[in-house]
Structure 1
Amino acid sequence: MAFTLLTILTAAISASYCFPTIFQDLEHNGGNRTSIKFLAIGDWGGLPYPPYITAVQKTTAVEMSKIAEQMGADFILALGDNFYYRGVNSVDSPRFQETFEAVYTSKSLRVPWYVIAGNHDHAGNVKAQIEYTMKSDRWRFPSYYYELNYRIPNTGKTLTIIMLDTVMLCGNSNDFVDEKPRGPLVEAEAKRQLAWLQERLARSKADFLLVAGHYPVWSVSEHGPTECLLQGVHPLLIKYNVTAYFCGHDHNLQYLEEFGIGYVVSGAGNFLDPDIRHWNHVPKGSLKFFTGQASTLGGFVHAEVTKDQLILTFFQAKGTSLYQTVLSQRNVS
């Protein structure tokens, strides 16, 4: 089954370079439902020593399972830093069990997890994480960057999610010395990915167009805005009328809005950080919501895409929603 899944995903990646785009139905598309629902969680990657998870990861996983059960979740976006502090070294690493399979155990979380790599993952073997797709019935990481295309049930509308590898785009960073990305390790690979992104955005007719990466475009917290993304990706998000950009990296929950584009920071899956040192380094008036307080016990985002809206709800792990906002569908000419 896993081999077949990887074959399908690989074919989907190959197809993303040619046109027209093929939109898929959800795997369990039944009844009269008229929306797609998913969770977004970043920086959830446990610890490299016993017990291999943190209290924040554990409580967040429990609340994720409750929200997925109550509100629904067709899949989960895993936004990088999947395994602290240096990723995994092989596809047989016990960390896949200790930090992933043994933590997110509820039936409601046994849905596809669409994965991208963070800076801590790139400190290890990202290829091993990609290869784990063949060994898991829910871990889906077909390539460093890739595209997901869905038909929203019973609406005639479509959703596209473009998953980026922002570490390949911008370079790695050392969180322990507050180092910023200093440029890609292989510049040709970064240029190839950016050209691919522009091509996909330019040709997209999706009613809802999302982009996801590990590094933030805008953030008020410790890492702040990512200059490389501001230069290379930010103009494309505006030009092609992207609905929202999802990321992690900063260990908190944030929502910013600029030119009608939502910027979602969901990095509270394993640690919490109330740092706001870059409060004045984002567009004036763009920050709508922020929390990184330890009292939340962790957090994540629930998204619902309907025929004409993207509804975003920010949850804290101790059991209540903290903020909700709505974005309209794109104007596709």
Structure 2
Amino acid sequence: MDGSCKHCLKWMWVACFYFEFMLVSAEFQRFQHPVKADGSLSFLVIGDWGRKGAYNQSQVALQMGKVGEKLGIDFVISTGDNFYEKGLATPYDPHFKHSFTNIYSANSLQKQWCSVLGNHDYRGDVQAQLSPILRKIDSRWLCLRSFLVNTEIAELFFIDTTPFVDEYFRNPKHQKFDWRGVIPSNKYLTRVLKELRCALRESVGKWKIVIGHHPIRSIGHHGQTKELITLLLPILEAYNVDMYINGHDHCLQHLSSITSPLQFFTSGGGSKAWKGDFDYLDGGGDDEIKFYYDGQGFMSVELTPTNAKIAFYDVSGNVLHSFNSNQLYYTYSTEM
């Protein structure tokens, strides 16, 4: 193991949800979470949601509570754009309670929320969302730039993708971004990618899942993110990552790589959706389109040591699309 991969600093507890973290660097922290007694793990994924209950946010939250109870979820993942339109102004911004605490109130959702930042979050005070003050207001909240959650059978790598997008620096369109802690961006991105490579190289989890706000592949409004295709995708393929999960496009979708087992999942339907806004020709690249839905909803992930089951739900709780990794790997191996 090289020196850059040695992680040995300090441990401390976060809230009372069995999360621990080890400080690795200023950008990458490590958390531990147990699996269930039977060795399984389940969680929900929601993105692009914080609108004080509007645009069906409350209805999506209601269905999340029902599915979360049925599955006995261990935690919730947010893929970013947590608070519209411009993140939080301060750690005491009432937007936090109106869009998070008061909305996701079901008993099953009183678990740790692991959140990344989206581009709209960068338009507010980024430090407010990262502040431990929010954890005192609502102990479920955990938002960091980039970090890792180890769950024994799976490792989840959360990546801060907004600073990867050149357009936000070149052409902000009168939008201000809070780049504190990011400038100079080339050094920041180099550090993030180095930490990710190191963590993936050390990973012994059965499942490797990377989460970011921006899509790598997408047929939605924003489409694929060229910077992530250049800088991030080769790392995911080199270290046999199973899933990349994102938000940003306000839809639900599943694309499957035709050159590797890597699956691309978008869960960005937490509130406002973009009906009819998609591009089959541009966003998918050479990957196979499995599912696309231009409405509100969320996704669930159920993991065992031998299988991963993904399901997408609409605002009424109907299952729109499901995916079983056993079927994929059988198909992939026979086609090869």
User: In 2, Cα distance between the equivalents of 1:252 and 1:207?
Assistant: 28
User: In 2, Cα distance between the equivalents of 1:197 and 1:22?
Assistant: 14
Query: Is the CA contact 1:13–1:147 (under 8 Å) kept in the aligned structure 2?
Result: no
Give the SS at the match of 2:14: helix
What does 1:1-333 correspond to in 2, within 5 Å? Answer: 4-5=13-14, 11-14=21-24, 24-26=33-35, 29=36, 32-46=37-51, 52-131=52-131, 132-141=134-143, 143-151=144-152, 158-171=153-166, 173=168, 185=183, 186-258=185-257, 259-273=260-274, 274-284=276-286, 286-293=288-295, 298-327=296-325
Report the Cα offset of residue 194 of structure 1. 1.2
User: In 1, Cα distance between the equivalents of 2:167 and 2:247?
Assistant: 14
Query: Is the CA contact 2:211–2:246 (under 8 Å) kept in the aligned structure 1?
Result: yes
> CA offsets per residue over residues 15-70 of structure 1, 9 Å max, x none?
9999xx885425xx4xx433100000000111xxxxx3213211100110010111
> CA offsets per residue over residues 156-188 of structure 1, 9 Å max, x none?
xx21000010012335649997x9x9x985221
User: In 1, Cα distance between the equivalents of 2:138 and 2:49?
Assistant: 18
Query: Is the CA contact 2:27–2:146 (under 8 Å) kept in the aligned structure 1?
Result: no
Q: TM-score, normalised by structure 1?
A: 0.83
Identical positions, percent: 27
User: Gaps spanning 5+ residues in structure 2: where?
Assistant: 1-11, 330-336
Report the Cα offset of residue 148 of structure 1. 0.3
Give the SS at the match of 2:223: coil
Query: Is the CA contact 2:113–2:141 (under 8 Å) kept in the aligned structure 1?
Result: yes
Query: Is the CA contact 1:147–1:162 (under 8 Å) kept in the aligned structure 2?
Result: yes
Give the SS at the match of 2:92: coil
User: Gaps spanning 5+ residues in structure 1: where?
Assistant: 47-51, 152-157
> CA offsets per residue over residues 207-260 of structure 1, 9 Å max, x none?
100000000000001100000100000011111100100000000000001021
Query: Is the CA contact 1:302–1:314 (under 8 Å) kept in the aligned structure 2?
Result: yes
User: In 2, Cα distance between the equivalents of 1:6 and 1:170?
Assistant: 33
One-letter identity of the residue aligned with 2:297? G
User: In 2, Cα distance between the equivalents of 1:198 and 1:146?
Assistant: 13
Report the Cα offset of residue 12 of structure 1. 2.2
Change (3 A) 1:172 1:82: farther
Aligned residues: 303
Change (3 A) 1:217 1:113: same
